[in-house]
Copies of this chain bind each other. A is one copy, B any other.
Amino acid sequence: MSRASDRAFETIRSMIVSGELSPGEQLVEEALADRCGVSRTPVRDALRRLESDMLVRRNDTQRTFVADWSLDDVADMFELRAMLEGHAAKLAAERMSDAALEELRRCNAELRRAVKATPPNVDLFLELNRDFHALILKVASSRRLATLLATLIEQPVIWRTAHHYGVDELARSSAEHDELLAAFARKDADWAQSIMSGHIRRAYHAYADAHHGLTAIDAADRKRRA
């Protein structure tokens, strides 16, 4: 997709992920078109893409809204992610090359530096974490799997809450990455799968712990807006 459509997609996407557009809020094509400085046509394209990423949902009469996720939905999402990323790690272990392994090591070394900085560089951590997982997915080399996972990562839920991670959580992440590297080095597919699955599940509980007190407020807030 060329300029206008991409711009619309990225603009709307970042507005959703940043929370500038609240969960449950209605998205009106013409208003978005104005904000993006394009016509409705590319906005419609963008909304379709966002819909397939499940960042927006449509009601039965074709109105679009920013997706809102219940705790159950989030739990669901993490469970699927644990399963699929575990599978990816397994495939990756079987297909890991020395070069790719070395790149993963470099990535995690940088990641650890970001964690150990004072104060820890959370944005950099997130970026390198993304890279690390993306690299594994690449080694797994399953187009299908990549597509499925794409809709599970990069969720606003994750992004808005990642900053709540404590330093200990961040450090634990890079330690788990080390374990993954060990499993990859030994080409132990089942081990890699187990670690990855646990890695994601731990992330879920970190999320849940940080949020279980907020959901009631969120729900009330959402209702008020609607």
Contacts and interface: CB of A to CB of B under 8 A. Distances in A.
A144 B73 contact: yes
Nearest to A148: B148
Interface stretch (A26-34, A76-84, A106-114, A177-185): A76-84
A202 B73 CA distance: 31
B54 A147 contact: yes
A176 B151 CA distance: 32
A76 B143 contact: yes
A144 B76 contact: yes
A203 interface: no
Q: How big is the A interface, by class?
A: 20 to 34
Given A48-B49, A62-B1, A80 B144 contact: yes
B152 A144 contact: yes
A74 B54 CA distance: 25
A7 to B, nearest CB: 16
Interface string A41-74: 0001100110010100000001000000000010
Nearest to A145: B80
A142 interface: yes
A6 to B, nearest CB: 11
Closest CB pairs A-B (n = 7) = A52-B52, A48-B48, A76-B142, A148-B148, A76-B144, A77-B144, A80-B144
